[in-house]
Chains A and B, each alone.
Chain A
Amino acid sequence: MPYSLSSLIPDKHFRVPSACGVSGIMNTSGERFSGEVVVTSMSVMRERGNGLGAGFAAYGIYPELKDYYCFHMLYDSAYAKKNTEEYLANHYEIVESEPIPTRKNPRIKEVHILWRYFLKPKFPETVTEEDFVVSTVMFINEKIEGAFVMSSGKNMGVFKGVGFPEDIGDFYRIDEYKGYIWTAHNRFPTNTVGWWGGAHPFSILDWTVVHNGEISSYGVNKRFLESYGYKCTLMTDTEVIAYLVDLFMRRFKYSPAITAKILAAPFWKDIDSMPEEERLLYSALRMNYGGALLNGPFAIIVANRNMMMGLNDRIKLRPLVAAVKGDFLYIASEEAAIRIVCPDPEIVWAPKAGEPVVGVLRSEESVSLKV
């Protein structure tokens, strides 16, 4: 353990810039595979982190309870747990409540109570089920001291904490889960952080985001989201991405391609030379959603139960490589992270700046290389 946890500063209340490594593996036909694969992929990118944060998002891991919202919780105290459970009991039917299984790891020091619930919402007819769950997550994260929702989707979950990915994977027994999409993250925060919630992936409903980069437009994006009712409580760039994706893809029902073109908008000089209809569309998107433009260096992997998307900033200031083999789509910060688990991919390419790589579940064209 390179740092003593007690001397770490929690990054709950201020923004910490960090550099990172990301990896995402998807089986587009929905076949589930062990999380060991993604841990192996991350293990070759150890240099990209500094042991102060790692995490995994997994889809398809709870098939027997797939109709219930699974909340992965991180508590600072038994008191926070009690408060949260009282709140949940009032608004949800708690189908299952259990500790998240862990394994002793000498390099991981447990500082939180890790718990998971499978929930059935008792929501009023005036709101949609998903909006109800979003408001619950917002409430817990903002109002209940010492409680944090790591993930809140169906048949998926986020496992994260302070440590290197191999250790976090071992700690959470990632190898024992099987999923059809796995994304993973290795963090290099600039200062010492001791709060597990600050690690990636960030998640809302079944959206997860892993992110390498710094969003220099954070101040704008946060205020843009506030006007749509999102409260950015975690002070991280990545949270903003998760909410933007939720806004455009879930609430507005925009395609991943259109969403990508809002987050990493084409340049005006390119828009100006588009055919009339496209020009109108992309001009309107930029004019109206300028506050959602993610500016600054980033490489992200966004996933939900149906898809996985890799995206770079508009001038590709962070690395991102993609590869395809059979039903598998690989996206990672480094080609090595793909080759270690898939030595002979059919194609490997570096996606262009602002061009999304999208893998869609059970679709004929499982991987679209461009919009």
Chain B
Amino acid sequence: MAKGKIPPEFLVERDDYKCVRCLACVRLCSYGANYYDENAKRVYTENRKCVGCHFCEAMCPTEAITVMRNPFEIKPLAHWTSEHLIDIMKQAETGGVLLTSMGNDRPYFSYFDRIVLNASQVTNPSIDPLREPMEVRTYLGRKQMKLDLEEDEEGRVLLKTEIAPQLKLEVPVMFSAMSYGSISLNAMLSLAEAAKTVGTYFNTGEGGLPKELKRYGSNMIVQVASGRFGVNVDYLNAGSAVEIKIGQGAKPGIGGHLPGEKVTEAISETRMIPVGTDALSPAPHHDIYSIEDLRQLIYAIKEATRYEKPVGVKIAAVHNVAPIAAGMVRAGADYIVIDGIRGGTGAAPKVTRDHVGIPIEFAVAVVDQRLREEGIRHMASVVVAGGIRNSADVIKAIALGADAVYIGTAALVALGCHLCQRCYLGKCNWGIATQDPKLTKRLNPEIGARRLVNLLRAWEHEIKEILGGMGINAIESLRGNRDMLRGVGLHEYELKLLGIKPAGEAW
């Protein structure tokens, strides 16, 4: 029926002069969009099935394929865009919640893009990172207001205060929680190997720990989410830190649902649930209905890990984020993770992903400020996540007050992801968000790791260049240094919340 006919999102154009009929595109497309017509001896595409992942385009040996957006030229209305029309058509057809994946792509204002950085001129020298040491090492975990020192008879100074467990990051960028189930083992192995090579951390997400990842314990954070999949004492002790996930930026306030079809033998083993059953993560932790309950869970985990590992808590950035963060720190979190409205996901209702939460730029600014005002900033490190796209975003997040950042989407892009936002289908042609062995083998963990290492090293170089330009040679002199930031085209009150001055104003 024509009413239900949803126009294709993409058009796959094929240059028949270039096409050699190798049929790679036909074999490769996991969505079955491309097909070969024996009679016509031509390759065609069923455009409706194309998700726009560009895999066939990338693989075509003769560059015969171009994947382009279907203009779907409805009358150019500002309020009723083609996206809205198509969404209504889909819902009128199915009566269901619209599902999507990856991060929010609404055209909200990017505050990162309205912040510019400082550099030294004349009055202090900029520093060349190729000639001088430039330090970006970061420690996450609880710090002290005061260290007690003691001098022995020989005049040596000894440290008396016991230092809380810390995570050591050689680059202030970690890989966000992405569970086994939402992404493939090969994707996880790529992240793990890269984290190990660079000296940072990856996060298991809430899907338990595949045995293949156990050897990466010293570069691994294990997550405890509301489903408690795969959580036992060995799991808690398998990594370098434990992270309690309360919420994530892509879907604040709701839980998760891994459909039974995806719960294969291997997933069943790591999640500790029967094969084929739906894996439901409840919206709240059913043992955390308030802040005092969070404290109990934090300390239960600390007991289980003999106080040897930092325990972090991750939340989505919501309106009341600053007081909530202060409560988390008081409840005993050694680090907190704030995931902004741009944070990614394997699957989320579109309405939640696109409309719930606040931009991370505000969240980090107000959380850092609040923790300082309450005199508890030293008690926990602040990790920021949600839409970090490049080294400039990292620098701005740190200058606004973060200790380090998490990247998820950027890491997946390095592995091949083209942000088609169909992770929830489990058919990822790039072998990332799928468990289909035919697809996952497309992602070689060695090559994946190399690409991720390249990305982090590239960002590290860029961060060092910018630091040197600012005339500082250690990342701690950037952390919370909002003097290094200026706003362009922002309202006065927004500047106040961000704690920065407008461009043009001196110190």
Distance, CA A268 to CA B476, complexed state (A): 12
- B479-496, CB < 8 A from A: 479-484
Distance, CA A320 to CA B232, complexed state (A): 59
A residues within 8 A CB of B107? Answer: none
Q: With A216-B470, A252-B146, A285-B147 known to touch, is A17 a contact of B480 (CB < 8 Å)? A: no
Interface residues of B (CB under 8 A from A): 120, 122-125, 127, 132-133, 135, 137, 139, 143-147, 149, 151, 156-159, 161, 163, 166, 372, 375, 377-378, 470-474, 476-484, 506-507
A315 touching B132, Cβ below 8 Å: yes
B476 touching A15, Cβ below 8 Å: no
Distance in angstroms from A131 CB to nearest chain B CB is: 15
The 8 Å CB contact of A265, one of B377, B474, B507, is B474
Distance, CA A254 to CA B378, complexed state (A): 20
Distance in angstroms from B501 CB to nearest chain A CB is: 10
The 8 Å CB contact of A269, one of B133, B143, B145, B159, is B133
A residues within 8 A CB of B143? Answer: 287-288
Q: Chain B interface: which of A51-59, A217-225, A339-347?
A: A217-225
B residues within 8 A CB of A284? Answer: 147, 159, 161, 163
Total residues of chain A contacting the partner, CB 8 A: 47
**A336 on the B face (CB < 8 A):** no
B479 touching A291, Cβ below 8 Å: yes
Which of B120, B151, B483 is the most central at the interface, judged by chain A CB atoms within 10 Å of its CB?
B483
**A314 on the B face (CB < 8 A):** yes
B483 touching A218, Cβ below 8 Å: yes
B residues within 8 A CB of A15? Answer: 506-507
The 8 Å CB contact of A281, one of B145, B158, B474, is B158
The 8 Å CB contact of B474, one of A214, A228, A295, A297, is A295
B507 touching A235, Cβ below 8 Å: yes
The 8 Å CB contact of B149, one of A18, A281, A296, is A281
- A271-288, CB < 8 A from B: 277, 280-281, 283-288
**A258 on the B face (CB < 8 A):** yes
B residues within 8 A CB of A283? Answer: 163
Distance, CA A161 to CA B127, complexed state (A): 33
A residues within 8 A CB of B127? Answer: 315
**A79 on the B face (CB < 8 A):** no
B residues within 8 A CB of A314? Answer: 473
Distance in angstroms from A154 CB to nearest chain B CB is: 26
B residues within 8 A CB of A296? Answer: 124, 471-472, 477
Known: A227-B375, A296-B472, A296-B477. 20 other contacts (CB 8 A): A15-B506, A216-B477, A217-B477, A219-B481, A220-B479, A252-B146, A255-B151, A265-B474, A267-B133, A277-B159, A280-B159, A281-B157, A281-B158, A281-B159, A284-B161, A287-B143, A288-B147, A295-B474, A296-B124, A296-B471
B480 touching A288, Cβ below 8 Å: no
Distance, CA A213 to CA B125, complexed state (A): 10
4 closest Cβ contacts across the A-B interface?
A290-B476, A15-B507, A219-B483, A217-B477
- A190-218, CB < 8 A from B: 190, 213-214, 216-218
Distance, CA A338 to CA B507, complexed state (A): 35
A226 touching B372, Cβ below 8 Å: yes
- A100-148, CB < 8 A from B: none
Q: With A220-B476, A227-B372, A277-B156 known to touch, is A214 a contact of B481 (CB < 8 Å)? A: no
A258 touching B157, Cβ below 8 Å: yes
B156 touching A219, Cβ below 8 Å: no
A220 touching B147, Cβ below 8 Å: no
**A88 on the B face (CB < 8 A):** no
Q: With A220-B480, A284-B159 known to touch, is A17 a contact of B123 (CB < 8 Å)? A: yes
Q: With A281-B149, A317-B124 known to touch, is A220 a contact of B137 (CB < 8 Å)? A: no
Q: With A17-B124, A284-B163 known to touch, is A297 a contact of B147 (CB < 8 Å)? A: no
**A241 on the B face (CB < 8 A):** no
B159 touching A293, Cβ below 8 Å: no
A residues within 8 A CB of B124? Answer: 17, 213-214, 216, 296-297, 317
A255 touching B471, Cβ below 8 Å: no
Distance in angstroms from B191 CB to nearest chain A CB is: 25
A residues within 8 A CB of B125? Answer: 297, 317
Distance in angstroms from A48 CB to nearest chain B CB is: 14
Interface string of A235-268 (1 = CB under 8 A from B): 1000000000000000010110110000001011
Distance, CA A253 to CA B400, complexed state (A): 32
* Nearest neighbor of B127 in chain A, beta-carbon distance: A315
Distance, CA A257 to CA B120, complexed state (A): 29
A293 touching B151, Cβ below 8 Å: no
B residues within 8 A CB of A287? Answer: 139, 143, 163, 166
B residues within 8 A CB of A190? Answer: 122-123
Distance in angstroms from A280 CB to nearest chain B CB is: 5
Q: With A19-B123, A277-B156 known to touch, is A219 a contact of B377 (CB < 8 Å)? A: no
Interface string of A284-316 (1 = CB under 8 A from B): 111111110101110000000000000000110
Distance, CA A195 to CA B8, complexed state (A): 70
Distance, CA A288 to CA B166, complexed state (A): 11
A selection of 7 A-B contacts at a CB cut-off of 8 Å is A18-B123, A220-B480, A227-B372, A254-B149, A258-B149, A277-B156, A290-B474
Distance, CA A110 to CA B326, complexed state (A): 50
B151 touching A219, Cβ below 8 Å: no
* Nearest neighbor of B475 in chain A, beta-carbon distance: A290
* Nearest neighbor of A313 in chain B, beta-carbon distance: B473
B residues within 8 A CB of A267? Answer: 133, 135
* Nearest neighbor of B505 in chain A, beta-carbon distance: A14
Distance, CA A17 to CA B120, complexed state (A): 11
